Amino acid sequence: MIQISSFLIGVGLISCTASERAVQKDIVVEAKMNLVSQGRVTYQTNCIACHNMNPAKDGSLGPAIKNSSLELITARVLKAEYPPKYNPKRNSKLMQPMPQLENKLHALYEFLNSPN
């Protein structure tokens, strides 16, 4: 993430023409797509034991989690908690924290908030 952002800032500083801006936009779109596919792999590897392969549907144990906020994903994945005042979909406490996924939170967010 840090690498991508500093790369984008670098691109922003050196480019100025319209075509260069178009290229810049492509890079942003591509970076986002990479995050979505990273997030998909992370999700399929770590979440579908309980959540549905299709995050818009309920899974064997976990509820549908499509369009979850970054705040919710962060609280759940790092600590198995909820953001303040969040009304959980389930009252169970089955999900375990997975702090080793800290650097995948943005990717999970982009995947869970992508159209497919």
Of 7-15, 18-26, 29-37, 89-97, the window that binds ligand HEC (rule: CB under 6 A) is 89-97
Best CA proximity match to 97, nearest among 22, 44, 47: 47
Interface residue with ligand HEC among 19, 94, 99, 116 (CB under 6 A) is 94
Of 2-10, 14-22, 27-35, 95-103, the window that binds ligand HEC (rule: CB under 6 A) is 95-103
Q: For residue 94, how far is the Cα from the chain centroid?
A: 21
- Asked if residue 99 lies in contact with residue 73, where contact means CB atoms within 8 angstroms, the answer is no
CB within 8 A of 59, min separation 6: which ones? 48, 50, 51, 52, 53
**Nearest distance, CB of residue 36 and ligand HEC, angstroms:** 14
d(CA 103, CA 3): 12
**Nearest distance, CB of residue 31 and ligand HEC, angstroms:** 21
Q: Does 105 sit near ligand HEC (CB under 6 A)?
A: no
**Between 4 and 101, whose beta carbon lies closer to ligand HEC?**
101
CB within 8 A of 21, min separation 6: which ones? 15
Chain residues that interact with ligand HEC, rule: CB under 6 A = 46-47, 49-51, 61-63, 65, 68, 72-73, 76-77, 88-90, 92-95, 98, 101, 108
